[in-house]
Structure 1
Amino acid sequence: MASREGPSDFAECYAAWFAPIAGQLAVYLGSAEEAQEVTQEAFTRAWARWGRIARYDEPAAWVRRVAWNLATSRIRRARTALRHWRGQRPESVAGPGPERVALERALAALPADQRRAVVLYYLAGLPVAEIAEICRAREGAVRTWLYRARIALARHLTDEVNDDA
């Protein structure tokens, strides 16, 4: 079967062997999507070397070997990453405190314009003029949003404290 050359031979090889190779790797990897990615990468590498690979007795065998090697490397990288992650993971991660939960709840209760103004002003540290430009509003409107938001937040957060007591 020597002297197979040309794009049509590559297309025939791809059409005949993509699904069987990807199917084998799907079982090996446990994911059809990953298997297709790996198989596609193997065929991409074959295309770059097709002048040489086309002369092999079984070009698909070369593609299959490359795909299996890529899949094995992917599994090794995933295992290494998992080991590293397990080693870096703290024993326990504390959730947000009650103050943070109350603040998030209070912010969520604000109208969108007020919430955006509060976040941009207090968290991002932007001046009122820049917030007005971002929101396409007048500076006076932004100041009003901030004023009303502070009142609503104070009321909401005071109610939260009184409910907890």
Structure 2
Amino acid sequence: MDADEAVREVYEASYRRLVGQLFGVTGDLAEAEDAVQEAFARAVARPRVFLELADHEAWLRTVAINVARNRYRRRWVFDRLLRTGRVWTPPETVPELAADGLDLIAALRTLPYRVRTALVLYHVVDLPVDEVAATLGASPNTVKSWLARGRAALARELGEPRVEPAKESAHD
């Protein structure tokens, strides 16, 4: 049995039980699921190391509790800053996305993380190529390549003709 298959078996045997335990800790089912999924993501990142542990479920539970605790602390600090007025107050409602916006988000999710992030930073946040490169730890030429590949993939995914925006040369 390979390491990935062994982690999958631990997942199948322990996931529901761990979520139930973390739900008791967090009081929030979505938060419990996120924390347990993060614990398994860390196990999958190093399956051979994970398999050498004496008690897989105990390690996963500890990691999930630490993840939940760290998230709680960050949320608590942010909530405190909100109450003191030291940070902006989020809007009560978030604008709804039109159907084409949902299609775009679905198409973006098909792209590799760095390509997707480059597209959003460049086209949505309106950062220049150099700043996108610095944010992503890549060269400007690599970012330009990601942008070109990402736009082409989005055009194929959304069934639209490929059009290169003139904007890119203005940012360089």
TM-score (norm 1): 0.49
Larger radius of gyration: 1
Give the number of the structure with larger relative contact order, counting CA–CA contacts within 8 Å between residues 6 or more apart: 1
TM-score (norm 2): 0.47
